[in-house]
A and B are shown apart, each in its own frame.
Chain A
Amino acid sequence: MNSAHLVDVVELRLFILPLSWLLRANSMQAEALFSAFKLSSQRLLFFSSSRVPRYLVRLMMLFYGCAFAWQMTRAQEPLAATTIIVGATSLLFAFQIVTDYFVIVFNPEEKHFLGWFPIDASSLLTAKLALFLKTLLGATFLLHIPSAVVFTAKYSVTAAALFLAGAMLGNILAAVSTLILYALVLDRIGSARLTNLIGYIQTLFFTLLILFSTFVLLPEFSRLAGGFSVLDSPWPWLPPFAPAALVDLALSGFDLRRLAQALTLPALIAGAVILLLRTFSQRFRDRLYETEAIPFRAAPRAGRLFTVITKAGFKERENWVMLTLTLLHLRDDWRLKAALVLFPIYFALWGVLLLGEEPVADPFAAVRASAGLLLPFMVLVLGQAPLSLQLLTRSLQYRASWIILLGDLDPLKILLAVRAAARRLFLQPYLMATAFILLYQIGNRGHVLLIMLLFWAAGEFFLSFMHQFMITLPFSRPHEEVPTGTGNLLLLMVLTFGLAGLLSGVVFFYAFRSYAACATALLLIFVLFLLSEAVFRRRAGDRLNHVEFPY
């Protein structure tokens, strides 16, 4: 008996048979529907039929669970911490129910799939309820077991049991409320508009989730900053520090150990790229294998690259087309609109927190005292990067990109125009708003300029990075194809935000401890940006040459 079959048998015994008995359903039908729903959900969520992405998601949930538990051990008021954790995870579960399973389990178009089969209502209900319970138990287990262990160690087994029961209850309440709300809204506005509304919820919740992670991780960064010591600790071995070690190497004399530190970065980047390419997405890999390396019509030149970065205007026909498509996309896609609505709200929130008469926190006090910009950077990078990336990635999902291929437009200019549109519509306003807040807070304009340079470089780098790996790249699919692989995308985005945010935060912190390191960091980011730009052109150019017309 293989593991998959074993899981099927366990699920049958644990969920299907008791529920079928309880609801007087046909267990054979319920089991068949349960299997079909489960498989369809999993395979629609992830591009790859491999189990690796699903295991990664579970690992991420476990990571969240451990992070919550860690916070709990340090919490001054355990009850408040518990309330926050249970509330957040209940929301997480409700989000998962609405976004991950609604396509299959709560599909309003279900009758077009199953309408003519002799299914009695109780069998259908049993299958859906079983899937719901399976998800509930799985999420509760992964998210709350580490916290329960902490409760047992800190208080008692009874406290842990109460905590688990509370968490389960919270999850059930959140999920049932969500389902009721879903049904009511579905009845009220219909399936098409509801799908758009789900898009809103996804955008909002994803942003909140990232912000919540920031909240969980921030205290750890403060602690880390306290123990930071240049080159005399293991931290300089980490990738962001390594290039700065080169500068220190030049300043303080040759040292083999420091050279090794400097070389860790390229090695780790190469490893990460190989890992990403090998791990993610069967379709992506297939595409890479199938794609012939057709050289671009216009070879990249250094001078042209500079033009790309500095003055990609809307004068060219290609730029005009991409701007028009972006505006059309903005008109049609509610998620993009939602992200745009969130954008000023987010800045208003931070404005109130940082610029109010009685600021909740004064993160820049540390800056003035020690020239360490850790906290503001963590807030801005971890908090704002996800939001801005939401804007950027949404802006790249042109639903009608194929139109441009009908004309005699230059593919290279089109690609550059995509970047220009995203940059002008989303990245630049974000940078301007950030600069406004920082100018108000920090007297030293030199500091602000440096910060903005770093942010600009980081923004360009994020954009290039996302272009490399986003499965919804423009031209990668016809506009009418149903987007699948949501799980892959979400996973990729969380990993990107998490890793890039953490590394950026630490590299910024280190950069402001030493101006030499700051210069290195800027140079590094710029080089990475140019590199990724070149790779992006080549890969996306290949896609342009291989795009299939929907008509």
Chain B
Amino acid sequence: MVHVVLDGQSHEVAPDTRVLDFLRTQGRAPPSLCYHPKLGPLKTCDACLVVADGQVVRACATMVSEGLELDASSPMIVAAQRTAMDRIVENHEFACTLCDRNNGDCELHNTAVRFGIKEQHYRPKPYAMDETSPFYAYNPNQCILCGRCVEACQDVVVNEVIHIDWSLSPPRVVWDQGVPIDRSSCVSCGTCATVCPVDAMMEKSMRGRAAHFSNLAPETRDKLVHWTKEASPDLEPLWLTSELEAAARQGSIRRTKTVCTFCGVGCSFEVWTRGREILKVLPKTESPANGIATCVKGKFGYDFVNSPNRLTEPLARAGDRFVGVSWDEALDDIARRMTEIRDRYGPDSIGVIATCTGTNEEGYLTQKFARQVLGTNNIDNCARYCQAPATTGLFRTVGIGADPGTFVDIEQSDLVMTIGSNAAEAHPVLAGRIKRSQKLRKSKLVVVDPRRHELAQRADLFLAPRSGTDLVLLNAVAKYIIDQGWEAREFIAERTSDFAEFRDRLARYTLDFAEEVTGLPRADIVRMAEMFHAARSACILWAMGVTQHQNGSDTSTAICNLLLVTGNFGRPGTGGYPLRGHCNVQGVSDFGCLPGFLPGYQKIDDPDARARIEQEWGTPLPKTKGLTSTEFVDAILDGRIRALYILGEDKLLADADEAKVAKAFERLELLVVQDLFLTRTAEFADYVLPAAASLEKEGTFVNTERRLQRLYRAFPPLGQARTDGEIVTALARRLGANWSGTEPRAVLDEVARVTPMFAGASFDRLEGFSSLLWPIRADGVDTPVLHRERFNFPDGKARFHPVDFAPPTPTDAAYDLALDNGRLLEHFHWGNLTYEDAGIRSKVPGTFVEVSPPLAAERGLSEGDWVRLTSEAGSIQTRVHVTDRVPDRTLFLTLHDRADGAVNRLTRDVRDGPTTTPDYKGTRVRMERLESPGPLESPVPVTNPRGKIRRPQAGVRVEDKWARPDYRPPGS
């Protein structure tokens, strides 16, 4: 602690405290507008001036020190603060009663009131409002030029789009090189609007909807503001009326904490609603995974919740059409038919697929339904399509199949390597942290991927090996490190086993061999090894580009082996991180929706676990391991499975080889699908049950870090829709189960009783924005970093697990092009949710295939041309986007199509051995040009940020403001 003197009184203060924060604790804070705890001191507003040891300083940018004497309230310093405030309010016209931003949290309003501002000399700026984005607008005339938006864009999410042009008179925020928002590289993450202290950068969804009378015609509004000012230049009456009006708004505006329903990053935020209307999504400083950051889907992509296309009542197949039926009719008949099938063919004739967008509690109930009510371990989830191989790699080597640390570890690491991951589009908020670390901390970034995507463009080293050969690269780097004597000897000796066998099995992976198989120059392979050797800590992040190959489990294992060789497990800033793709794919796996594991990854043959659960449930558990989701398809076709119950999974589109899956669905005796929309899978169903969206339910999610977070209900389900938990419970009771305590809180309590790794999990401990990372001890202590003392094996040591490269199943030479495929930033999977959003649709209306310029020239293709892609499995038609992001003989197909361009019409049903995850990424195709039905039109609209030129700079560049000839420091 240090001692600080304020008004003659000495105070003890923690040494790393900002003077501004100290003064706030004393109730003596000066006005402050540009400072934000997640952005740090920007020094643009000059309002928080104080005298420290006789010098006029900014309180936000000054740290306390021993003996520091502070004056925050003498007439001289108050006059300086007033000068600064007067300059700020010149930029912003107070019309708070009509302002949608004035909801009790407008920082300018509150600061002006607190500081006793009674008048303003507003000076309009000669710039028009920019309303070109479908998501947010910029109003220069309300902008106080604090620079928060710039700092957030440049140095937090590091999209590097906006800056303040301080050379303009007056200055303003500018996009890229001075273009409208919708012609810029803006990816619409909305972080600028989140941090804006006023209504200058505001979500369009708020406009005309938050305030009671903000939807007046602009002329009427202007007249009203003018008349009010003429009548009373004194701001006091405005403060009072606007505060009363803002207080009244709270009668119908509700703020609900929730967790994002899209990817696995686990962004949490408040969602502001009025009835069912979504006013805005507001991430909070205390949001543990994301802080103030979001992506376009999380911030603006929730229109689907109120879509008229949502299912609002149960549907039953009646011949060649669906008819609406009551819940009782639907559930009674489903229960009757499930019972008949179980009695006739046995419990294993039914398969259940849990939803990865449901809560943990719903996942737990779903697996309980399969195991206790139906009597089968045929329960799986969408991890089968994506991360099961990564989990296998981690289980083999470190004993726990999950991310070993948190995003903080990734951000603090000296070296981050991404492999088979397009994080900037698939996990954009996490990618922001990686970019930030590289930009501000100068950490190193290695990217291994076929495509030159954003992270690849930013990488210190970018490697694009041949498809499916990552394992060779990883083994070669491990061998080179060992050959140089750079391995972490102490770590290997003390904390691992089986090193000698591993080292010997690497003999084949020479630089020559690696160069030949991967196509990479040996210098690059050596460079990668050198970078790992030089880094004090390293993380490797991977995703579908690794796991969706025939050797997905082995390549994941090779990643872990490399981390063990270099000693990068079990301490902060290290580890191997599979990046989960769905909001709760981690959670439903953790909570037991897997054919080989009970909740908490307890093996189904673990006698202690079985005893615990059987005692809790009062019934014996099925003994044999169940089938995986991909095996379900084979089992349907050969008659072992007769009924499927699918929750929130568009399996027809998700599995490889769509035609095969369709054939299987047609053979089922009973298909029940539970979802928000009539998905392609639901089209085959006997019953379609309307499910609730995440905003309509209570419960918890687990993100990719292993972090449990609560979500709260913002409004009730639409129409007759019900939560997955309610539906499963109703069905279980009709099948004879005596279930009670099925509300989410009680379910989590039950999980804690039967699952040691969740022993201390409870709703109370997860209140609000609190979170816990499993394993969670009974006393509530969680585990941000795994493996610190021991690895999860009996001897406590990590295990090297040698893996060898085997060439993938060959494809006919006629299929001459490799077909990579994956997500775009704007859409989520098949687009069932994101195509419901007009703004997102305007950015990316449909799918397309990326073709390199040389290949396009060779095939006579132009931007917007239609092509047919044909593989061994089938063919699709799509449009061409010519880009140098893809290498010459590789195509990239976006996967957001539900019909003629659906990627899984092309993929083969070839699988990773240990996990049965399809080899989606190993597809080869041939491409032929089609006659275009109309004029060529790029599938990437001009309003799309791709291909635009960003404008990076360090923060807000306040020095440029200070260099303006008209700048005079207040108090000077």
Report whether chain A binds chain B. no
Binding site for B on A (CB under 8 A): none
